């Protein structure tokens, strides 16, 4: 049994990871300032004897009060708004949590000689000119635009991990996550799957930005969580950056049509201006993940969407 600290544990990925690690018998300390997460995501485990929740802003320079936890073996640093709508509404906080917050977690890890996994993003590639994106691709990121607070802060977060590995031999690992989805995303999160599914189930218009020809590669949360844990466990992933995502690419319009078909909704598809700097294509090369971790995603978009729609239906009390 390991003692594991998860920042962002009340968020979408953090709450799924918390539950999975508790289920595997580990002790978990969840840290979150509830900026974009919700305690309701953790309600099933709040009373779990191996779980402790600490409300805390990890960008705060003061040392985190681990509330009696003597040491931690592993830190998953997931804290950060992730939806473009939410990170642009909290741009400075997004910069701080991925830079100062990352350094704070690396310092904590140094104190306890803990392993650190940092959740970076496919946004590190910006609006890519190389397609699909291997980890070696250095990206095409605009420093002077609405996505920069997220993209560039994540890139600097990666640099912190690199330097703590190089200077102090800290066992850091960086995962570049591509779009992950499932139940657990807030209905008002603003990301495409939560928007489309909520809109379809409530009979509102399905809002496609641009002409919908831009592409993304959607990974179901169970596949992503499995990869995060493998990455933390495997020594071969230390000092590495690894893409985690589903290499099957879909246009946004195709996703809208699929959601419409699976929900059998009367909602209309409507078209709206494409947000500034919206990446035109995105698809991961996952050779490192398959070679190093032996990982490959198992859930197709159609199956994942069916599960997601069912959960949203239950949440919206429509069934």
Q: What is the contact surface with ligand NAD in residues (CB under 6 A)?
A: 7-8, 10-14, 31-37, 57-59, 78-82, 97, 101, 119, 121, 177, 179-180
- Please identify, among the stretches 109-117, 126-134, 166-174, 207-215, the one whose residues bind ligand UDP according to the rule CB under 6 A: 207-215
Does 195 participate in binding ligand UDP (rule CB under 6 A)? yes
Candidates 78, 252, 259, 285; binder of ligand UDP (CB under 6 A) is 252
290 vs 206: CA distance, rounded Å: 35
* Residue 123, phi then psi, degrees to nearest 5: -65, -15
Q: Which does 7 bind (CB under 5 to 8 A by kind): ligand NAD, ligand UDP, none?
A: ligand NAD
Compute CA 16 distance to the chain's CA centroid, rounded to the nearest angstrom.
Answer: 11
Smallest gap, in angstroms, from Cβ of residue 157 to ligand NAD?
9
Assigned token pair, 34: 């509830």
Q: Which residues pair with 185 in a beta bridge?
A: 183
Does 84 participate in binding ligand UDP (rule CB under 6 A)? yes
Quick one: 78 or 265, whose CB is closer to ligand NAD?
78
Smallest gap, in angstroms, from Cβ of residue 200 to ligand UDP?
11
Q: Which is it for strands 269-272 and 219-220: parallel, antiparallel or unpaired?
A: unpaired
- Please identify, among the stretches 14-22, 99-107, 206-214, 218-226, the one whose residues bind ligand UDP according to the rule CB under 6 A: 206-214
Q: Name the residue among 66, 8, 71 with its Cα closest to residue 41.
A: 8
Known catalytic residue: 118?
A: no
Q: Which does 245 bind (CB under 5 to 8 A by kind): ligand NAD, ligand UDP, none?
A: none
Q: Which does 112 bind (CB under 5 to 8 A by kind): ligand UDP, ligand NAD, none?
A: none
Quick one: 20 or 204, whose CB is closer to ligand UDP?
204
Smallest gap, in angstroms, from Cβ of residue 177 to ligand NAD?
4
The residue length of the chain stands at 319
89 vs 155: CA distance, rounded Å: 20
Q: Which does 194 bind (CB under 5 to 8 A by kind): ligand UDP, ligand NAD, none?
A: none
Residue of 150, 164, 181, 220 marked active site: 150
Q: Name the residue among 120, 25, 15 with its Cα closest to residue 77.
A: 120
Compute CA 36 distance to the chain's CA centroid, rounded to the nearest angstrom.
Answer: 12
User: Cis (ω within 30 of 0) for the bond into 132?
Assistant: yes
Smallest gap, in angstroms, from Cβ of residue 266 to ligand NAD?
29
H helical segments located in the chain: 12-23, 84-89, 91-112, 148-168, 192-202, 221-233, 252-263, 287-288, 301-315
Q: Name the residue among 99, 122, 90, 284 with its Cα closest to residue 190.
A: 90
Quick one: 51 or 150, whose CB is closer to ligand UDP?
150
82 vs 178: CA distance, rounded Å: 11
Interacting residues with ligand UDP (CB under 6 A) = 83-84, 179, 191-192, 195, 207-209, 214, 216, 252, 275, 278
Residues annotated as catalytic are: 150
């Amino acid at each position: 049994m390991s003692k594991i600290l998860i920042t962002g544990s009340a968020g979408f990925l953090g709450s799924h990871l918390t539950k999975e690690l508790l289920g595997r018998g580990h002790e978990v300390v969840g840290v979150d300032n509830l900026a974009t997460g919700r305690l309701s995501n953790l309600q099933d485990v709040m009373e779990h004897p191996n779980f402790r929740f600490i409300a805390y802003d990890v960008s705060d320079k003061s040392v985190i009060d681990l509330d009696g936890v003597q040491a931690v073996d592993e830190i998953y640093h997931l804290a950060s708004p992730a939806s473009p709508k939410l990170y642009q509404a909290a741009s400075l906080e997004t910069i701080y949590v991925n830079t100062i917050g990352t350094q704070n977690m690396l310092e904590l890890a140094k104190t306890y000689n803990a392993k650190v996994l940092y959740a970076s993003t496919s946004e590190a590639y910006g609006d890519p000119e190389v397609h699909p994106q291997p980890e070696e691709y250095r990206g095409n990121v605009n420093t002077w635009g609405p996505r920069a607070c997220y993209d560039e802060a994540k890139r600097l977060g990666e640099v912190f991990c690199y330097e703590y590995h190089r200077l102090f031999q800290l066992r850091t690992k960086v995962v570049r996550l591509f779009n992950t989805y499932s139940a657990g995303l807030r209905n008002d999160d603003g990301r495409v799957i939560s928007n489309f599914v909520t809109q379809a189930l409530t009979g509102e218009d399905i809002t496609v930005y641009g002409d919908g020809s831009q592409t993304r590669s959607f990974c179901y949360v169970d596949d992503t969580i499995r990869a995060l844990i493998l990455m933390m466990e495997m020594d071969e992933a230390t000092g590495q950056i690894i893409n985690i995502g589903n290499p099957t690419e879909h246009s946004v319009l195709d996703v809208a049509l699929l959601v419409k078909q699976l929900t059998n909704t009367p909602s209309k598809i409507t078209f709206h201006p494409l947000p500034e700097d919206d990446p035109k294509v995105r698809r991961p090369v996952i050779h490192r993940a398959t070679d190093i971790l032996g990982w490959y995603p198992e859930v197709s978009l159609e199956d994942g969407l069916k599960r997601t729609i069912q959960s949203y239906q239950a949440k919206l009390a429509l069934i």
